[in-house]
């Protein structure tokens, strides 16, 4: 299941403040069983120590074209790599790679490979938006280079804007999909994902909520975006995500239903990751309920079953995905929901297990397909789970396609 295990990855680190995050990328890759060969540019040495990277990677840091034990290190590294990732990639490295310059070990290795390349830019907003950088990125993309776009947030020197290196987990997910050969299998596919838990108001200040963090929904949305999909998230949570993903913010089950109804009819794939409240107060008190009025009696009524309604009116060829949070009879309950709601697949997790489900960074799931097949994905970070879910979505889409 883990597409990183036993794979050879060249991790290029260029000279930007985000170089420290490359250490975390390296650690996650090695933890997943990959062989990581690190290359640091001369400038990267100004930001992090090579000893740290050498200690965490699978071989010592390479920097020079000339003082390596091997006489032609760039061809050895470039030919042996199954994927090359550059994180962070500065404007200079991006420009050199786009122009085919090979003035140092990193750029020479990039030119000397036939492996997929993942570029993770990090720079100030003014640089990221400069026409030269914009056109270099477009050129690299047109050659099939995978770009993991920077996020918005705090930059070096305290500035705010787009240019911050993507999350290490998103970078690892992009490497993983590049290795699984599925990196653009959702090109142009319209994907709708719901994320987070709904909140049903009781009065002006109180709500009925649940523990969903939205992490799994966002991981799926980001993985779909990186595989080329046009992604919309209908979300109850405020989380940073990749540029290019549209977000519709909602709070209640009814608002989620209204937003989903706008997008679902024209979506190729709908993934209901959200934890939607099953019940809501019949009446919402306009002001705040005061303590001195005594313990309130709150009468609940069922909310609309969004996924059930989607299943009942599913356009042909749409892939509909549900989630099932269970504590008992996982497979049996999930299969029941799949049939009742007319789904193509359902992702079931045992939320009573350790480090699984709501709020955690990890999950362990069983993907049950309408064909009866089920795929168990052992405990992994939510980006790895997202890759497995999208691999199944992709398979169902291929099976739907007329021969
Ligand atoms: N869902 C929905 N609308 C609701 C409730 C749930 O669309 N009002 C979706 C969730 O997004 C999820 C799936 O349905 O994809 C979960 O199915 P459901 O049968 O509602 O699961 P539970 O709420 O866990 O049901 P139960 O309490 O019966 O286990």
Nearest CA to 188 out of 222, 225, 221 is that of 225
Bridge partners of residue 37, in order along the sequence? 10
Mean pLDDT within 19-34: 96
Cβ distance 233 to 263 under 8 Å?
Answer: no
161: pLDDT strictly greater than 90: no
Please state whether beta strands 8-13 and 83-89 pair in parallel, antiparallel, or not at all (unpaired).
parallel
Please return the burial class of 89, using the count of CB atoms within 10 Å of its CB with bins 0-12, 13-18 and 19+: buried
Ligand 1 binding pocket includes 253 (Cβ within 6 Å): yes
Q: What is the DSSP string of 156-224?
A: GGG-EEEEEPPPHHHHHHHHHHHHTT-TTTTTT-EEEEEESB--EESSSS-EE-----SHHHHHHHHHH
What's the confidence (pLDDT) of residue 88? 98
* Topology alike, domains 2-180 and 190-400: yes
Kindly state the DSSP code that residue 42 receives in the 8-state scheme: T
Whether 136 is in the pocket of ligand 1, judged by its Cβ within 6 Å, is: no
Ligand 1 atom with least separation from CA of 340: 19
Flag whether pLDDT at 187 surpasses 80. yes
* Ligand 1 pocket, residue 305 CB under 6 Å: yes
Fold annotation for 2-180 = Rossmann fold (3.40.50)
Average pLDDT over residues 212-234: 93
Domain covering 190-400: architecture: 3-Layer(aba) Sandwich (3.40)
Please choose, from the candidates 343, 337, 203, the residue with its C-alpha nearest in 3D space to the C-alpha of residue 271: 343
Least confident stretch, 85-89, 145-149, 151-155, 328-332: 151-155
β 83-89/35-40 pair status: unpaired
Q: For a pLDDT cut of 70, what percent of the chain falls above it? A: 99
Q: How far is the CA of 128 from the centre of ligand 1 (A)?
A: 42
- Ligand 1 and 306: CB distance under 6 A: yes
pLDDT above 80 (res 381):
no
Six token digits for residue 74:
């760039």
CA distance 37 to 58: 6
Q: Which of 198, 276, 306, 309 to mutate to test the pocket of ligand 1 (most atoms within 8 A of CB)?
A: 276
- The whole-angstrom separation of Cα 143 and Cα 261 is 37
Lowest mean pLDDT among 13-22, 138-147, 188-197: 138-147
Quick: pLDDT tens for 39-59.
999 999 999 999 999 999 999
Q: Is the pLDDT of residue 232 over 90?
A: yes
Q: Which residue has the tokens 């993507």?
A: 166
Query: What per-residue confidence (pLDDT) applies to 68?
Result: 65
The whole-number average pLDDT for the span 98-117 is 94
The confidence score (pLDDT) of residue 398 equals 92
Residue nearest to atom 4 of ligand 1 (CA): 305
Q: Give CA separation, 282 vs 64, 236, 251, 286, in Å.
A: 69, 21, 17, 13
- pLDDT score, position 1: 45
**How many C-beta atoms lie closer than 10 Å to residue 169's C-beta?**
20
pLDDT of residue 403: 65
Say if residues 11 and 21 touch (Cβ distance below 8 Å). Answer: no
278-317 pLDDT, tens digit each: 999 999 999 999 999 999 999 999 999 999 999 999 999 9
74 has pLDDT over 90: no
The residue whose C-alpha atom lies closest to atom 18 belonging to ligand 1 is 324
pLDDT band with cut points at 50, 70 and 90 for residue 3: confident
Roughly how many angstroms between the first and final C-alpha of the chain, as a whole number?
28
Tell me the C-alpha to C-alpha distance, in Å, between residue 209 and each of 42, 139, 251, 279, 281.
Answer: 51, 46, 10, 10, 12
Of the listed ranges 1-15, 55-69, 329-343, 347-361, the least confidently predicted one is 347-361
Give the length of the chain. 403
Cα 231 to ligand 1 centre (Å): 22
Instruction: Name the residue ranges covered by the structural domains of the chain.
Output: 2-180, 190-400
> How far, in Å, are 116, 187, 363 from residue 232 at the CA level?
27, 14, 23
Rounded average pLDDT over 22-41: 96
- 24 in ligand 1 pocket by Cβ < 6 Å? no
> In the annotation, is 210 catalytic?
yes
Average the pLDDT over 212-225 and give the result: 92
Q: Give the pLDDT score at 367.
A: 97
Select from 305, 312, 319 the residue to mutate for testing ligand 1; criterion: most ligand atoms less than 8 Å from CB. Answer: 305
In this prediction, residue 244 has a pLDDT band, given cuts at 50, 70 and 90, of confident
Taking 70 as the threshold, does the pLDDT of residue 97 lie above it? yes
Q: 357 vs 198, which has greater pLDDT? A: 198
Q: Is the pLDDT of residue 391 over 70?
A: yes
Burial of 66 (0-12, 13-18, 19+ CB in 10 A): exposed
Quickly count: other Cβ atoms within 10 Å of residue 219's Cβ.
28
| Strands of the 362-369 sheet, one edge to the other | 246-249, 230-235, 190-195, 269-272, 319-326, 345-350, 362-369, 374-381
Residue 324 CB less than 6 A away from ligand 1: yes
Q: What is the pLDDT of residue 177?
A: 84
Average pLDDT, the chain: 93
């Amino acid at each position: 299941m883990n597409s990183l295990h036993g794979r050879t990855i060249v991790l290029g680190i260029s000279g930007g403040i985000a170089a420290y995050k490359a250490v975390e990328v390296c650690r996650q890759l090695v933890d997943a069983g990959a062989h990581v060969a690190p290359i640091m540019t001369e400038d990267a040495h100004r930001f992090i120590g090579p000893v740290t990277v050498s200690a965490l990677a699978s071989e010592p840091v390479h920097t020079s074209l000339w003082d390596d034990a091997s006489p032609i290190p760039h061809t050895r590294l470039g030919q042996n790599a199954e994927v090359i990732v550059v994180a962070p990639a500065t404007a200079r490295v991006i420009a050199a790679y786009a122009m085919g310059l090979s003035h140092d070990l990193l750029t020479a290795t990039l030119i000397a490979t036939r492996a997929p390349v993942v570029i993770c830019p990090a720079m100030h907003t003014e640089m990221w938006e400069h026409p030269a950088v914009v056109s270099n990125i477009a050129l690299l993309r047109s050659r099939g280079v995978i770009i993991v776009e920077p996020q918005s947030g705090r930059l070096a020197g305290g500035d705010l804007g787009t240019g911050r290196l993507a999350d290490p987990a998103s970078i690892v997910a992009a490497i993983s999909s590049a290795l699984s050969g599925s990196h653009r299998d959702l090109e142009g596919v319209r994907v709708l994902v719901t994320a987070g838990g709904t909140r049903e108001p009781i009065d002006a200040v109180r709500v009925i909520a649940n523990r969903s963090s939205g992490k799994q929904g966002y991981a799926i949305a980001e993985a779909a975006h990186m595989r080329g999909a046009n992604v919309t998230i209908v979300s109850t949570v405020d989380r940073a995500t990749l540029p290019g993903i549209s977000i519709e913010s909602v709070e209640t089950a009814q608002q989620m239903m209204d937003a989903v109804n706008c997008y679902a009819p024209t979506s190729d794939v709908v993934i209901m990751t959200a934890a939607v409240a099953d019940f809501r107060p019949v009446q919402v008190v306009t002001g705040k309920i005061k303590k001195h009025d005594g313990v309130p009696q709150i009468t609940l009524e069922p909310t609309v079953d969004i996924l059930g309604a989607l299943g009942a009116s599913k356009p042909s060829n749409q892939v509909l995905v549900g989630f099932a949070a269970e504590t008992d009879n996982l497979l049996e309950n999930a299969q029941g929901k799949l049939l009742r709601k007319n789904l193509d697949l359902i992702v079931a997790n045992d939320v009573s297990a350790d480090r699984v489900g709501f709020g955690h960074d990890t999950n362990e799931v069983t993907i049950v397909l309408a064909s009866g097949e089920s795929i168990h994905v052992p405990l992994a970070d939510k980006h790895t789970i997202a890759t497995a879910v999208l691999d199944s979505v992709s398979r169902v889409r291929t099976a739907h396609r007329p021969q």
